[in-house]
Each structure stands twice: as C-alpha cells, then as structure tokens.
Amino acid sequence: MNSQKKFIVSHAPFQHNGSSIEQRSYNIILATLPAILLGLFHYGAPALGVICLSISSAIFWELAMNRISKRPITIGDGNSAMVGIIFAMLLPATTPWWAVITGTFVAIVIGKEIFGGIGSNAFNPAALSVLILILSWKNLFDFDQALLNYNFDFVAVYPLGALKHFGVDAIDTFNILDLFLGRQIGGIGSTFGLGLILGGGYLILRGFIRWEIPLSFLLGISITALLFNISEPARFVGPGFHLFTGYTLIGAFFLATEDSSSPVNTLPMLLYGLGGGIMTVLIRNIGVYIDGVLYAILVMNMVSPLLDKIRPKAIGKVV
C-alpha cells in the first residue's frame, strides 16, 4: 500500500506576498486606529463600548463555529477581530448591544464560516452584515436621529442624508476640508478622511492591499459625480463631497479590497473598483438609498469571479 502523501494545489493564478494571515489581520487593525481614535474622541464611551462588544462577539462566534465544526481554533489569526473592528467602524455610536451581537453573528457565521472560513467567503463579511442590519432595522442607521443628543462643534447633520432629502442647497454649510478632517457625523470610524487615507496608504505601502482597487474605486466615484454635476449642477453635487462623505473611503481601502471577495489580476481589479465607484454614485444620485457604497461593493463581490476570468496570457505555449 502506497502511504505517500499527495501534493494538492488550488487552481491558478498563484501569488503570495510573503505575509501571513496574522500579519495581514493585525496590520489592518493597526491601519484602522487613526479613524477609530477620532471616532472615540467625538462619541466617547458609547463608541468604545460598541467597538469592544463587536470585537469580542466576533471572536466568540468564530470560536463557537470552530468548536461546532470540530476544526482547529483559528481566533489567534486575528481575522475575526479584524472583521469585528471594521464592522464597528460602520455603526453609529448608539447602536444597541443586541444589534452589535446580531451583526457580528451575521458577519462571522453567515458571511464567513458558512462559506468555508477565511479565504472562501464570496462577500465582504462586514459589508454584508451592515447591509442586512440596514434592511432589517433601518432606523438604527438614521445618523441624525441616533446622534441627536451629542454636542458637536460642527454641523451635526448627516451630509448624505441632507443631500438626499433636501438637495444641493442644503449642503452649503458643509466645508470640504471639514469633511476631510472628520468634522461630520456618521459611522464611528468612517468619517475621518485623512485617517482612512493614511491607514489605506500604509496597507498599500506594506503590500497588504493592492493600489488598483482603491484608486479605481475613487476614480469611478469622481468621474461619475463630475458628469452628473456638469449635466445638472443644481441637482447633483461634485466629486469632492462624494469622496469625503458616507462610507466612501472606508469602502475604498477596507471593504472593497478584502482578498476573498475581490479579483486577483490587475485588469479585473481596475474594472472591479471602477464599477463599484460608478455604482455608488448612481445609487446616491438616482437610487432610493442614501449611501450606495455597501450595495455597490456587494454587487461587485458577486461579479468578481467573472472579472477574474480576464487573465494574463500564459508564458510559453502547450506543445
């Protein structure tokens, strides 16, 4: 009887940047800190509570799935903690405890583990979970109502909500620089443009994410918003406002770039990001939803396997 172990490989293409799951997860967590620290500064203890509960419950759900499925314990790789912290960044600081726990259950159990665990999920777990919460309990994501009792030294109105409900004239009070510096209400870690760009730039320089997706995503938003603005400036706002509001920057650097749900080849990545950016502005401008980032990213996650069929020509030829 031949007891030799078989060498099993997956299908091409093969690419490895030398980093481990642990390195990637903990570096992404590190990259989120600038945006999270500003969120803690604005919202205080409630935001800290949401973040801590999100991380701990995400770890718990992964541990429970490891036990139930009798697989090795994987919580040490930091992936569940990373999903938990990104999920928390998208939430209002006033999110109730039951919604946080429900959301991390959806993200880890449904968005990740049911698909087979890390590397097998078809959709970004955090984006999928937040979108399900929005569809189930829409009022939780009414940032104006949720953050009504906070005292801010800036305009305490959700920028995209003001644009959607009251038009271009309603956003004259918003300054682009203030938006870029996080002087706006929104998700705990999704409003500080400078912090998100610094975190995303760090991940690109370290090789944990590729530049193609963030750049093409932001380019798609900019071009589409500009075309709408040129065609009807009284109704549609320019690119700057769209780039620094809502989930745009966290989507570009932390959601759209998730390995399992995004393409691996250069041209597919560019098309993937561009399509997501275009769809984001279409939903914001002519759709019924206030922010289109999560919807756009999940649709492009679904299209990703088709895009990855566009592959570089193989070296050499079959004889």
- For residue 127 the two structure tokens come to 């984006």
Query: What does each C-alpha distance from 78 to 83, 119, 200 come to in angstroms?
Result: 9, 14, 18
Write down the pLDDT at residue 8: 56
Write down the pLDDT at residue 318: 56
- pLDDT exceeds cutoff 50 at 133: yes
Euclidean distance between CA atoms 181 and 183, whole angstroms: 6
- pLDDT exceeds cutoff 90 at 311: no
| pLDDT band with cut points at 50, 70 and 90 for residue 154 | confident
Going by the DSSP 8-state scheme, the letter that residue 257 receives in this structure is T
Q: Mean pLDDT of all residues in the chain? A: 90
Write down the pLDDT at residue 5: 57
Euclidean distance between CA atoms 100 and 129, whole angstroms: 10
| 176-218: pLDDT as tens digits | 999 999 999 999 999 999 999 999 999 999 999 999 999 999 9
Give the residue-averaged pLDDT of 293-312: 91
Give the residue-averaged pLDDT of 281-299: 94
Write down the pLDDT at residue 15: 54
| Residue 63 CA to its chain's centroid (Å) | 23
- For residue 278 the two structure tokens come to 């275009």
Phi, psi at residue 237, to the nearest 5°? -90, 160
Query: What does each C-alpha distance from 148 to 25, 120, 157, 174, 247 come to in angstroms?
Result: 34, 40, 9, 18, 20
Q: Between 125-136 and 293-307, two packed helices, what is the crossing angle to 10 degrees?
A: 140
Write down the pLDDT at residue 1: 46
| 155-176: pLDDT as tens digits | 889 999 999 999 898 898 899 9
Write down the pLDDT at residue 116: 83
- pLDDT exceeds cutoff 80 at 18: no
- For residue 289 the two structure tokens come to 């939803």
Give the residue-averaged pLDDT of 218-234: 96
- pLDDT exceeds cutoff 50 at 302: yes
What share of the chain has pLDDT > 90, as a percent? 76
Exposure string of 110-147, with b = 16+ CB inside 10 Å and e = fewer, is: bbbbebebbeebebbbbbbbbbbbbeeeeebbebeebb
Give the residue-averaged pLDDT of 125-146: 94
Euclidean distance between CA atoms 51 and 88, whole angstroms: 5
| 33-54: pLDDT as tens digits | 999 999 999 999 999 999 999 9
- For residue 296 the two structure tokens come to 């756009």
Given a contact cutoff of 8 angstroms between Cβ atoms, the answer to whether 130 and 81 are in contact is no
- For residue 145 the two structure tokens come to 């109502």
Give the residue-averaged pLDDT of 280-309: 94
How big is the chain by its Cα radius of gyration, in Å? 20
- pLDDT exceeds cutoff 80 at 12: no
Q: Give this prediction's pTM.
A: 0.90
Give the residue with greater pLDDT, 253 vs 155. 253
How many residues appear in the chain?
319
Write down the pLDDT at residue 10: 53
What share of the chain has pLDDT > 70, as a percent? 92
| pLDDT band with cut points at 50, 70 and 90 for residue 267 | very high
Given a contact cutoff of 8 angstroms between Cβ atoms, the answer to whether 129 and 106 are in contact is yes
Exposure string of 234-252, with b = 16+ CB inside 10 Å and e = fewer, is: eebbbbbbbbbbbbbbbbb
- pLDDT exceeds cutoff 50 at 219: yes
Write down the pLDDT at residue 121: 87
- pLDDT exceeds cutoff 60 at 266: yes
Write down the pLDDT at residue 120: 83
- pLDDT exceeds cutoff 90 at 222: yes
Write down the pLDDT at residue 4: 54
